[in-house]
Amino acid sequence: MASQPIYQFYAELLDFKPRIWRRFQVLNNITMAKLGYILMSMFEMQASHMFRFEAPINITFNQRVAETFFEEEFAKFSSIPEDSLITKENWRIEIVNEDTPDAYDNNLFDATQHKVKEVISHPKSFVTFCYDYGDNWNIRLILEDIIIDKTLPGKDLPRILEGEGYGIIEDCGGPGGLKEITRAFKKKKGTQYKEYCDWLRCDDLDLTTFDRDDGNLRVKKIPRIYADIYERRLAPTKKSIDFLERKYLHNKTEPAPPAPSPELPCLPPHINPITQVIVALDVNDISQARELAHALQGTGCWLKIGLELYALSGVKLIDEFKNLGFNIFLDVKLHDIPTTVQRTLRILAASGADMINVHCLGGYEMMARAAEVCHQQNTLLIGVTVLTSMDGQEMAQIGVFQDMGAQVSRLAGLAYQAGLDGVVASAREVPVLRQQFGPSQQTDDFLLVTPGIRPVGSNANDQARILTPQAALDAGSSFLVIGRPITQAPDPRLALLNLF
């Protein structure tokens, strides 16, 4: 259920008529970055350019905000009560990294670190969302209402209530260019019309088109894809690209709206398989973990911090390894009552982990509440179906006599219903799960994270159900978890690069 207040916004594209607008609802404790991804999804912005929010901003002066100031600036406000508000015009909120201009500007806040409720706190408050500083698209966003509805499932948010107009067309020259395109398609003749037809690969274009059902399907899936692009610098999978390009509409009887831009400059069609490898740092020595991380730096792989290493280091290694450029899978397999798991994940998701897992056997309520918390932080949450170290005989010993494949399928289905991003499952179950979940328009890319991966010639060790890396990818695995064949190799980096 929605445990946080719900914000209802009105958003309108500026400098264009007829109006293109949306009325929508979100939880108030999502990050400003996620709010940006939601807006981009609703207005057909394809994650090809930078974005930011600009506004007169009211932010509670607490430690979170104080950390963004220089120490001398903080000293100026040291006498202000903790719950006071600082108001300043034209503060910028964007994703901050080493490439950000003026990264140390006091007026700049990181969109991934600050929540919507910290920036917009009162009805009629507004911010301006700016996308593509060349074409200069601007959306005015106004908070209409703050709603308390604990009966609404958190997985139903964000949701679009109503709207008009299709959205923008990437790289057309901004609102002025969009007006020219609209005029050309109204005339349906002339050189300019023919040029636009060739570019957009269509001979008819209606920018008044608005499909709320399609919008609500996309607004729940696309923000996670965009978080990977902007925050984790990951290329989306082919299935994600197909979803972004609305390939799922090809099977419908009614024609789909024309794709406004057939080219996706930031979405390379060829994915380096190394970026789908999660190297398991299953070691009991922090120094050894650091050595492995430095050896693998720059390859594009993920790192997995499991229970053993987490017990030694806590969350400090997450921040350290992310500074080296890695995405982090925190493999803690939580399984407890729903409230405990929810509260724990609120802490773990804030640590910067990109992916966390829970046991599917914890049940629907536990998984649903866990997913709500993780998605507020743009953290992927996956479920463990059956441990890959277990076989049918061991399952029978604990009272589960169902066929292994049927048990995995049932638990994976429950995870999907609860809103998880995917499941952990043996590659031998992947073909069945791919038939069950995708590719399809309803699942986008339900992640299948596969441990028990062994290169040809490797020892199976304690894994009962294993497959080789290429065979696992061919079967449909999204990520491959590989440990000892890399971490115990004489040259871990070379072992990783030689997997494919």
> In this predicted model, what pLDDT tens digit does every residue of 317-357 receive, in sequence order?
998 998 888 989 999 999 999 999 999 999 999 888 989 99
The answer to the question of residue 38 being in a domain is yes
The answer to the question of residue 148 being in a domain is yes
Residues 293 and 412 in one domain: yes
Q: Which of 172-181, 261-270, 305-314, 436-445 bottoms out in mean pLDDT, i.e. has the lowest?
A: 261-270
Q: Residue 80: pLDDT above 80? A: no
pLDDT on residue 257: 43
What pLDDT band is residue 3 in, cutting at 50, 70 and 90? low
Nearest to 451 by CA among 421, 485, 495, 418: 485
Q: Residue 159: pLDDT above 80? A: yes
Q: List CB contacts of 149: < 8 A, sequence separation 6 or more.
A: 2, 6
The answer to the question of residue 430 being in a domain is yes
pLDDT on residue 333: 95
Q: Residue 424: pLDDT above 60? A: yes
Q: Residue 30: pLDDT above 80? A: yes
What pLDDT band is residue 64 in, cutting at 50, 70 and 90? very low
What is the pLDDT averaged over residues 235-248?
83
The answer to the question of residue 174 being in a domain is no
Supply the angle between the helices 286-296 and 316-323 in degrees, to the nearest 10: 20
Is 333 assigned a catalytic role? yes
Q: Residue 251: pLDDT above 60? A: no
Residues 279 and 160 in one domain: no
The answer to the question of residue 221 being in a domain is no
Last residue of a domain, one of 146, 164, 182: 164
> In this predicted model, what pLDDT tens digit does every residue of 271-286 receive, in sequence order?
578 888 999 999 999 9
pLDDT on residue 66: 38
Q: Residue 270: pLDDT above 80? A: no
What pLDDT band is residue 423 in, cutting at 50, 70 and 90? very high
Q: How far apart are CA 253 and CA 241, in angstroms?
A: 22
Q: List CB contacts of 360: < 8 A, sequence separation 6 or more.
A: 367, 383, 384, 385, 411, 412, 414, 415, 423
pTM for this model (two decimals) = 0.55
The answer to the question of residue 128 being in a domain is yes
pLDDT on residue 18: 87
Last residue of a domain, one of 164, 187, 222: 164
What pLDDT band is residue 87 in, cutting at 50, 70 and 90? very low
pLDDT on residue 271: 53
Of all residues in the chain, the percent with pLDDT exceeding 90 is 43
- Domain enclosing residue 394, as ranges: 273-497
Q: Tell me what the pLDDT averaged over the chain comes to.
A: 81
Decide: 128 and 54 in contact? Cβ < 8 Å.
Answer: yes
Identify the residue with better confidence: 428 or 10.
10
Residues 21 and 139 in one domain: yes
Q: List CB contacts of 98: < 8 A, sequence separation 6 or more.
A: none
Q: Residue 85: pLDDT above 50? A: no
Residues 306 and 160 in one domain: no
CATH classification of the domain holding 411: 3.20.20.70
Burial 365-384 (b: 16+ CB within 10 A, else e): ebbbbbbbbbbbbbbbbbbb
Residues 143 and 288 in one domain: no
Give the pair of three-digit tokens for residue 318: 């997450």
pLDDT on residue 390: 75
Q: Which of 39-48, 147-156, 453-462 bottoms out in mean pLDDT, i.e. has the lowest?
A: 453-462
Identify the residue with better confidence: 317 or 73.
317
Longest CA pairwise span in the chain (Å): 76
Residues 156 and 294 in one domain: no
The answer to the question of residue 194 being in a domain is no
Within 10 angstroms of residue 124's Cβ, the number of other Cβ atoms is 9
Q: How far apart are CA 401 and CA 415, in angstroms?
A: 21
Give the pair of three-digit tokens for residue 350: 């804030």
Give the pair of three-digit tokens for residue 239: 């299935």
Residue 154 vs residues 4, 118, 368: alpha-carbon distances, Å: 9, 20, 8
Highest mean pLDDT pick, 56-70, 248-262, 427-441, 467-481: 467-481
Residues 455 and 324 in one domain: yes
What pLDDT band is residue 426 in, cutting at 50, 70 and 90? confident
Residues 339 and 465 in one domain: yes
What pLDDT band is residue 434 in, cutting at 50, 70 and 90? confident
Residues 156 and 277 in one domain: no
> In this predicted model, what pLDDT tens digit does every residue of 183-233 receive, in sequence order?
888 777 778 888 888 898 888 888 888 999 999 999 999 998 999 888 887
What pLDDT band is residue 42 in, cutting at 50, 70 and 90? very high
Residue 66 vs residues 28, 443, 447: alpha-carbon distances, Å: 21, 40, 37
| Angle, CA of 380, 386 and 387, to the nearest 5° | 90
CATH classification of the domain holding 38: 3.10.290.30
Q: How far apart are CA 393 and CA 265, in angstroms?
A: 50
The answer to the question of residue 181 being in a domain is no
What pLDDT band is residue 104 in, cutting at 50, 70 and 90? low
- For the chain, give the secondary structure using H, E and C: CCCCCEEEEEEEECCCCCCCEEEEEEECCCEHHHHHHHHHHHCCCCCCCCEEEEEEEEEECCHHHHCCCCHHHHHHCCCCCCCCEEEEEEEEEECCCCCCCCCCCCCEEECCCCEHHHHCCCCCCEEEEEECCCCCEEEEEEEEEEECCCCCCHHHCCEEEEEECCCCCCCCCHHHHHHHHHHHHHHCCCHHHHHHHHHHCCCCCCCCCCCHHHHHHHHHHHHHHHHHHHCCCCCCCHHHHHHHCCHHHHHCCCCCCCCCCCCCCCCCCCCCHHHHEEEECCCCCHHHHHHHHHHHCCCCCEEEEEHHHHHHHCCHHHHHHHHCCCCEEEEEEECCCHHHHHHHHHHHHHCCCCEEEEEHHHCHHHHHHHHHHHHHCCCEEEEECCCCCCCHHHHHHCCCCCCHHHHHHHHHHHHHHCCCCEEECCHHHHHHHHHHHCCCCCCCCCEEEECCECCCCCCCCCCCCCECHHHHHHHCCCEEEECHHHHCCCCHHHHHHCCC
Q: How far apart are CA 229 and CA 250, in angstroms?
A: 26
Residue 215 vs residues 85, 140, 332, 371, 474: alpha-carbon distances, Å: 36, 19, 34, 21, 31
What pLDDT band is residue 258 in, cutting at 50, 70 and 90? very low
Give the chain's domain count: 2
Last residue of a domain, one of 109, 129, 164: 164
What is the pLDDT averaged over residues 2-15?
88
